[in-house]
Amino acid sequence: MAIIVTGGAGYIGSHTCVELLNAGYDVVVVDNLSNSHREAVRRVEEITGRKVAFHEADLLDKPALERVFREHKVEAVIHFAALKAVGESVEMPLEYYWNNIAGTIQLCQTMRQFGVKKIVYSSSATVYAVPDSPRPLTEDSPLGPINPYGRTKWMGELILRDLHAADPEWGIAVLRYFNPVGAHPSGRIGEDPEGIPNNLMPYITQVAVGQRERLNVFGGDYPTPDGTGVRDYIHVVDLAEGHLKALDKILTNPGYHVYNLGTGRGYSVLEVVAAFERASGRKIPYTIVGRRPGDTAVCYADPSAARDGLGWAATRGIEEMCADAWRWQRQNPEGYGNGE
Protein backbone atom coordinates (compact mmCIF):
# COMPACT_ATOMS: atom_id res chain seq x y z
CA MET A 1 0.00 0.00 0.00
CA ALA A 2 1.31 3.40 -0.97
CA ILE A 3 0.86 7.00 0.06
CA ILE A 4 0.39 9.58 -2.70
CA VAL A 5 2.18 12.83 -1.92
CA THR A 6 0.95 15.65 -4.16
CA GLY A 7 3.54 18.42 -4.35
CA GLY A 8 6.12 15.92 -3.08
CA ALA A 9 8.97 17.58 -5.00
CA GLY A 10 8.36 20.84 -3.12
CA TYR A 11 9.87 22.14 0.08
CA ILE A 12 7.64 20.59 2.75
CA GLY A 13 6.59 17.66 0.55
CA SER A 14 10.17 16.46 -0.04
CA HIS A 15 10.93 16.48 3.69
CA THR A 16 7.73 14.58 4.39
CA CYS A 17 8.65 11.98 1.75
CA VAL A 18 11.92 11.33 3.64
CA GLU A 19 10.04 10.66 6.88
CA LEU A 20 7.45 8.46 5.14
CA LEU A 21 10.14 6.35 3.43
CA ASN A 22 12.13 6.06 6.66
CA ALA A 23 8.96 4.86 8.39
CA GLY A 24 8.54 2.14 5.74
CA TYR A 25 5.75 3.59 3.59
CA ASP A 26 5.86 3.34 -0.20
CA VAL A 27 5.70 6.83 -1.65
CA VAL A 28 4.14 8.01 -4.92
CA VAL A 29 4.86 11.64 -5.77
CA VAL A 30 2.55 13.59 -8.08
CA ASP A 31 3.99 16.98 -8.95
CA ASN A 32 3.88 19.20 -12.04
CA LEU A 33 7.26 20.74 -11.10
CA SER A 34 5.78 24.23 -11.44
CA ASN A 35 7.68 25.32 -8.34
CA SER A 36 10.18 22.51 -7.80
CA HIS A 37 12.81 20.28 -9.35
CA ARG A 38 12.96 16.58 -10.18
CA GLU A 39 16.36 16.64 -8.45
CA ALA A 40 14.66 17.06 -5.06
CA VAL A 41 13.02 13.66 -5.47
CA ARG A 42 16.33 12.08 -6.53
CA ARG A 43 17.89 13.45 -3.35
CA VAL A 44 15.04 12.08 -1.25
CA GLU A 45 15.94 8.67 -2.71
CA GLU A 46 19.62 9.28 -1.96
CA ILE A 47 18.93 10.23 1.69
CA THR A 48 16.67 7.27 2.36
CA GLY A 49 18.17 4.65 0.06
CA ARG A 50 14.64 3.91 -1.17
CA LYS A 51 12.84 4.44 -4.48
CA VAL A 52 10.04 6.94 -5.02
CA ALA A 53 7.44 6.44 -7.77
CA PHE A 54 7.52 9.86 -9.41
CA HIS A 55 4.76 11.10 -11.75
CA GLU A 56 5.21 14.47 -13.39
CA ALA A 57 1.54 15.34 -13.58
CA ASP A 58 -0.85 18.20 -12.89
CA LEU A 59 -3.76 17.71 -10.51
CA LEU A 60 -5.89 19.44 -13.11
CA ASP A 61 -5.12 16.67 -15.62
CA LYS A 62 -7.79 14.13 -14.73
CA PRO A 63 -6.67 11.28 -17.03
CA ALA A 64 -3.11 11.59 -15.68
CA LEU A 65 -4.38 11.48 -12.11
CA GLU A 66 -6.51 8.42 -12.87
CA ARG A 67 -3.47 6.67 -14.33
CA VAL A 68 -1.60 7.21 -11.07
CA PHE A 69 -4.43 5.78 -8.97
CA ARG A 70 -4.77 2.86 -11.38
CA GLU A 71 -1.08 2.06 -11.25
CA HIS A 72 -0.67 2.05 -7.46
CA LYS A 73 -2.59 0.57 -4.56
CA VAL A 74 -3.15 3.80 -2.69
CA GLU A 75 -3.91 3.91 1.02
CA ALA A 76 -4.02 7.67 1.61
CA VAL A 77 -3.03 11.01 0.12
CA ILE A 78 -0.99 13.83 1.62
CA HIS A 79 -1.95 16.91 -0.37
CA PHE A 80 0.71 19.63 -0.54
CA ALA A 81 0.32 20.72 -4.17
CA ALA A 82 -0.68 24.37 -4.32
CA LEU A 83 0.52 27.77 -5.41
CA LYS A 84 1.62 29.68 -2.31
CA ALA A 85 2.90 33.20 -3.02
CA VAL A 86 0.69 35.74 -1.27
CA GLY A 87 1.61 38.74 -3.48
CA GLU A 88 1.21 36.75 -6.68
CA SER A 89 -2.22 35.55 -5.53
CA VAL A 90 -3.36 39.17 -5.32
CA GLU A 91 -2.21 39.72 -8.93
CA MET A 92 -3.49 36.40 -10.28
CA PRO A 93 -6.53 35.36 -8.22
CA LEU A 94 -8.08 33.21 -10.95
CA GLU A 95 -4.91 31.15 -11.37
CA TYR A 96 -4.75 30.64 -7.60
CA TYR A 97 -8.41 29.62 -7.20
CA TRP A 98 -8.18 27.37 -10.24
CA ASN A 99 -4.98 25.61 -9.24
CA ASN A 100 -5.63 25.28 -5.53
CA ILE A 101 -9.41 24.78 -5.43
CA ALA A 102 -10.07 22.98 -8.70
CA GLY A 103 -6.94 20.90 -8.06
CA THR A 104 -8.22 19.86 -4.62
CA ILE A 105 -11.71 19.05 -5.93
CA GLN A 106 -10.37 16.97 -8.79
CA LEU A 107 -8.01 15.13 -6.46
CA CYS A 108 -10.87 14.29 -4.08
CA GLN A 109 -13.14 13.20 -6.94
CA THR A 110 -10.45 10.84 -8.18
CA MET A 111 -9.82 9.54 -4.66
CA ARG A 112 -13.53 8.79 -4.26
CA GLN A 113 -13.63 7.09 -7.65
CA PHE A 114 -10.84 4.73 -6.52
CA GLY A 115 -12.25 4.24 -3.01
CA VAL A 116 -9.45 6.17 -1.26
CA LYS A 117 -10.94 8.26 1.54
CA LYS A 118 -7.99 9.38 3.66
CA ILE A 119 -6.37 12.74 3.14
CA VAL A 120 -3.97 15.02 5.00
CA TYR A 121 -4.37 18.60 3.80
CA SER A 122 -1.84 21.45 3.95
CA SER A 123 -3.48 24.49 5.43
CA SER A 124 -1.91 27.55 6.97
CA ALA A 125 -2.00 29.91 9.90
CA THR A 126 -2.95 32.45 7.28
CA VAL A 127 -6.58 31.21 7.50
CA TYR A 128 -6.95 32.90 10.91
CA ALA A 129 -8.34 36.40 11.28
CA VAL A 130 -5.92 38.86 12.83
CA PRO A 131 -6.68 38.82 16.58
CA ASP A 132 -7.45 42.12 18.37
CA SER A 133 -4.55 41.54 20.74
CA PRO A 134 -1.62 39.13 20.54
CA ARG A 135 -2.62 35.71 21.81
CA PRO A 136 -1.84 32.14 20.81
CA LEU A 137 -4.14 30.95 18.04
CA THR A 138 -6.21 27.87 18.82
CA GLU A 139 -8.01 25.84 16.17
CA ASP A 140 -11.28 27.56 17.05
CA SER A 141 -9.92 31.10 16.84
CA PRO A 142 -11.92 33.18 14.33
CA LEU A 143 -11.02 32.61 10.69
CA GLY A 144 -10.72 35.31 8.04
CA PRO A 145 -7.81 35.24 5.61
CA ILE A 146 -7.00 38.57 3.98
CA ASN A 147 -5.62 37.54 0.58
CA PRO A 148 -6.63 35.19 -2.26
CA TYR A 149 -3.96 32.61 -1.37
CA GLY A 150 -5.25 32.41 2.21
CA ARG A 151 -8.80 32.13 0.95
CA THR A 152 -7.88 29.17 -1.27
CA LYS A 153 -6.49 27.38 1.80
CA TRP A 154 -9.64 28.19 3.77
CA MET A 155 -11.96 27.09 0.95
CA GLY A 156 -10.01 23.84 0.70
CA GLU A 157 -10.77 23.25 4.39
CA LEU A 158 -14.48 23.96 3.87
CA ILE A 159 -14.70 21.58 0.91
CA LEU A 160 -13.09 18.80 2.95
CA ARG A 161 -15.36 19.47 5.93
CA ASP A 162 -18.43 19.23 3.69
CA LEU A 163 -17.08 16.07 2.12
CA HIS A 164 -16.73 14.47 5.52
CA ALA A 165 -20.23 15.61 6.53
CA ALA A 166 -21.64 13.97 3.39
CA ASP A 167 -19.66 10.74 3.84
CA PRO A 168 -18.30 10.10 7.35
CA GLU A 169 -16.11 7.27 6.05
CA TRP A 170 -13.62 9.95 5.02
CA GLY A 171 -10.66 10.46 7.34
CA ILE A 172 -9.38 14.02 6.98
CA ALA A 173 -6.61 15.83 8.82
CA VAL A 174 -6.30 19.55 8.14
CA LEU A 175 -2.91 20.83 9.30
CA ARG A 176 -2.44 24.56 9.76
CA TYR A 177 1.27 25.28 9.52
CA PHE A 178 2.83 28.31 11.13
CA ASN A 179 6.20 29.37 9.64
CA PRO A 180 8.14 26.39 8.26
CA VAL A 181 11.90 26.96 8.07
CA GLY A 182 15.14 24.96 8.09
CA ALA A 183 16.14 21.97 6.04
CA HIS A 184 17.00 18.29 6.33
CA PRO A 185 20.16 17.93 8.48
CA SER A 186 21.94 16.19 5.58
CA GLY A 187 21.96 19.52 3.73
CA ARG A 188 20.73 17.70 0.60
CA ILE A 189 17.15 19.02 0.47
CA GLY A 190 15.80 22.40 1.49
CA GLU A 191 13.84 25.45 0.42
CA ASP A 192 14.69 26.72 -3.07
CA PRO A 193 12.65 29.85 -3.78
CA GLU A 194 12.65 31.32 -7.27
CA GLY A 195 13.91 34.90 -7.54
CA ILE A 196 13.93 37.24 -4.57
CA PRO A 197 12.68 35.34 -1.52
CA ASN A 198 9.49 36.68 0.07
CA ASN A 199 10.11 34.87 3.32
CA LEU A 200 12.48 35.82 6.08
CA MET A 201 14.70 32.75 6.50
CA PRO A 202 15.61 32.20 2.83
CA TYR A 203 16.30 35.91 2.52
CA ILE A 204 18.65 35.77 5.52
CA THR A 205 20.48 32.71 4.16
CA GLN A 206 20.99 34.44 0.80
CA VAL A 207 22.46 37.48 2.57
CA ALA A 208 24.74 35.15 4.55
CA VAL A 209 26.02 33.48 1.40
CA GLY A 210 26.63 36.85 -0.28
CA GLN A 211 23.84 36.72 -2.89
CA ARG A 212 22.02 39.70 -1.36
CA GLU A 213 23.55 42.71 0.27
CA ARG A 214 21.37 43.24 3.32
CA LEU A 215 18.08 42.29 4.87
CA ASN A 216 15.20 44.74 4.91
CA VAL A 217 13.39 44.35 8.21
CA PHE A 218 9.76 45.19 7.54
CA GLY A 219 8.69 47.42 10.42
CA GLY A 220 10.46 48.40 13.63
CA ASP A 221 7.46 49.94 15.36
CA TYR A 222 5.22 46.96 16.08
CA PRO A 223 3.95 46.56 19.65
CA THR A 224 6.50 43.79 20.33
CA PRO A 225 9.52 43.80 22.69
CA ASP A 226 12.00 44.96 19.99
CA GLY A 227 9.45 46.48 17.58
CA THR A 228 9.82 43.79 14.88
CA GLY A 229 7.23 41.18 13.86
CA VAL A 230 6.94 37.97 15.86
CA ARG A 231 6.26 34.57 14.25
CA ASP A 232 6.12 30.93 15.26
CA TYR A 233 8.94 29.35 13.23
CA ILE A 234 8.83 25.57 12.99
CA HIS A 235 11.55 23.23 11.74
CA VAL A 236 10.45 21.55 8.51
CA VAL A 237 11.47 18.12 9.86
CA ASP A 238 9.21 18.62 12.90
CA LEU A 239 6.48 19.56 10.46
CA ALA A 240 7.13 16.45 8.36
CA GLU A 241 6.90 14.29 11.49
CA GLY A 242 3.56 15.92 12.27
CA HIS A 243 2.27 14.62 8.92
CA LEU A 244 3.15 11.05 9.86
CA LYS A 245 1.26 11.41 13.12
CA ALA A 246 -1.71 12.86 11.24
CA LEU A 247 -1.58 9.94 8.82
CA ASP A 248 -1.61 7.46 11.72
CA LYS A 249 -4.60 9.30 13.11
CA ILE A 250 -6.78 9.12 9.98
CA LEU A 251 -5.74 5.55 9.15
CA THR A 252 -7.04 4.40 12.51
CA ASN A 253 -9.72 6.97 13.21
CA PRO A 254 -11.78 8.49 10.39
CA GLY A 255 -13.24 11.90 11.12
CA TYR A 256 -12.53 15.52 10.33
CA HIS A 257 -9.60 16.77 12.40
CA VAL A 258 -7.93 20.18 12.44
CA TYR A 259 -4.54 20.81 14.06
CA ASN A 260 -2.15 23.71 14.34
CA LEU A 261 1.45 22.71 13.67
CA GLY A 262 3.63 25.27 15.42
CA THR A 263 5.94 25.39 18.42
CA GLY A 264 3.87 27.77 20.53
CA ARG A 265 6.87 30.10 20.85
CA GLY A 266 7.27 33.32 18.87
CA TYR A 267 10.55 34.92 17.75
CA SER A 268 10.98 38.46 16.46
CA VAL A 269 12.79 39.20 13.20
CA LEU A 270 15.79 40.51 15.14
CA GLU A 271 15.85 37.41 17.36
CA VAL A 272 15.95 35.24 14.23
CA VAL A 273 18.77 37.36 12.80
CA ALA A 274 20.74 37.00 16.06
CA ALA A 275 20.13 33.22 16.20
CA PHE A 276 21.23 32.88 12.58
CA GLU A 277 24.41 34.87 13.21
CA ARG A 278 25.25 32.56 16.12
CA ALA A 279 24.56 29.43 14.06
CA SER A 280 26.47 30.56 10.96
CA GLY A 281 29.21 32.78 12.34
CA ARG A 282 28.22 35.29 9.59
CA LYS A 283 27.09 38.85 10.15
CA ILE A 284 23.69 39.70 8.65
CA PRO A 285 23.58 43.42 7.81
CA TYR A 286 20.05 44.80 7.99
CA THR A 287 18.06 48.00 7.64
CA ILE A 288 14.75 48.63 9.32
CA VAL A 289 12.28 49.83 6.68
CA GLY A 290 8.51 50.41 6.59
CA ARG A 291 5.98 47.71 7.40
CA ARG A 292 5.00 45.26 4.65
CA PRO A 293 1.31 45.61 3.76
CA GLY A 294 -0.80 42.77 5.12
CA ASP A 295 1.69 41.78 7.87
CA THR A 296 0.56 41.38 11.45
CA ALA A 297 2.58 42.16 14.57
CA VAL A 298 2.41 38.76 16.24
CA CYS A 299 1.34 35.29 15.11
CA TYR A 300 1.95 32.10 17.07
CA ALA A 301 0.21 28.81 17.72
CA ASP A 302 -1.39 27.14 20.64
CA PRO A 303 -0.05 23.69 19.69
CA SER A 304 -1.83 21.75 22.47
CA ALA A 305 -4.48 20.14 20.23
CA ALA A 306 -1.77 18.42 18.15
CA ARG A 307 -0.01 17.33 21.34
CA ASP A 308 -3.20 15.84 22.80
CA GLY A 309 -4.76 14.56 19.56
CA LEU A 310 -1.70 13.37 17.66
CA GLY A 311 0.93 12.88 20.36
CA TRP A 312 3.10 15.32 18.43
CA ALA A 313 5.13 18.30 19.54
CA ALA A 314 7.94 20.17 17.83
CA THR A 315 11.33 19.35 19.37
CA ARG A 316 13.79 21.42 17.30
CA GLY A 317 14.65 24.94 18.46
CA ILE A 318 15.55 28.13 16.63
CA GLU A 319 19.32 27.38 16.69
CA GLU A 320 18.76 24.06 14.92
CA MET A 321 16.41 25.70 12.40
CA CYS A 322 19.09 28.27 11.58
CA ALA A 323 21.97 25.78 11.51
CA ASP A 324 20.10 23.48 9.12
CA ALA A 325 18.92 26.35 6.88
CA TRP A 326 22.51 27.57 6.72
CA ARG A 327 23.98 24.14 5.90
CA TRP A 328 21.51 23.75 3.01
CA GLN A 329 22.26 27.23 1.63
CA ARG A 330 26.03 26.89 2.03
CA GLN A 331 26.17 23.48 0.34
CA ASN A 332 23.70 24.49 -2.40
CA PRO A 333 24.20 28.21 -3.06
CA GLU A 334 22.16 27.88 -6.28
CA GLY A 335 19.53 25.61 -4.70
CA TYR A 336 18.85 22.64 -6.97
CA GLY A 337 20.46 24.59 -9.80
CA ASN A 338 19.13 25.50 -13.17
CA GLY A 339 18.64 21.92 -14.26
CA GLU A 340 15.32 20.12 -14.27
Ligand X SMILES: O=c1ccn([C@@H]2O[C@H](COP(=O)(O)OP(=O)(O)O[C@H]3O[C@H](CO)[C@@H](O)[C@H](O)[C@H]3O)[C@@H](O)[C@H]2O)c(=O)[nH]1
Looking at the annotation, which residues are catalytic? 149
Dihedral angle at the C-alpha atoms of 104, 106, 109, 114, nearest 10 degrees?
-100
Strands 230-231 and 267-268: antiparallel
Q: How far is the CB of 224 from ligand NAD (least distance, A)?
A: 20
Residues 6+ apart with CB under 8 A from 43: 14, 188, 189
Distance (Å) of CA 145 to CA 6, 41, 101, 126, 161: 24, 32, 15, 6, 17
The item of ligand X, ligand NAD, none sharing an interface with residue 34, based on CB under 5 to 8 Å by kind, is ligand NAD
Using CB under 6 A, pick the residue from 2, 3, 4, 10 that binds ligand NAD: 10
21-60 residues near ligand NAD, rule: CB under 6 A: 31-36, 58-60
Decide the pairing of beta strands 215-218 and 286-289. Answer: parallel
Residues in the interface with ligand X (CB under 6 A) total: 21
> How many CB atoms are closer than 10 A to CB 198?
14
Contact between 84 and ligand X per CB under 6 A: yes
H/E element holding 112? Answer: helix 103-113
By beta-carbon proximity to ligand X, the closer residue of 54 and 326 is 326
Binding residues for ligand X restricted to 249-268, rule: CB under 6 A = none
Tell me how crowded residue 6 is: count the other CB atoms within 10 A of its CB.
28
- Segment contacting ligand NAD by CB under 6 A, of 65-73, 79-87, 249-257, 266-274: 79-87
User: For ligand X, which is the closer residue by CB, 293 or 337?
Assistant: 293
Residue 182 contact, options ligand NAD, ligand X, none, Cβ 5-8 Å cut-off depending on partner type: none
Among 177, 267, 300, 328, binds ligand NAD (CB under 6 A): 177
Question: Can you state the angle between helices 62-71 and 103-113, rounded to 10 degrees?
Answer: 40
Give which of 168, 128, 146 is closest to 257, Cα–Cα. 168
Q: Which is nearer to ligand NAD, 144 or 168 (CB)?
A: 144
Nearest residue to ligand X, using CB? 229
What is the spatial distance between Cα 292 and Cα 301, in angstroms, rounded to a whole number?
A: 22
Residues within the interface to ligand X (CB under 6 A): 84, 86, 124-126, 177-179, 198-200, 203, 215-218, 229, 231, 269, 292, 295
> Site residues (CB under 6 A) for ligand NAD?
6-7, 9-13, 31-36, 58-60, 80-84, 99, 103, 122, 124, 153, 177, 180
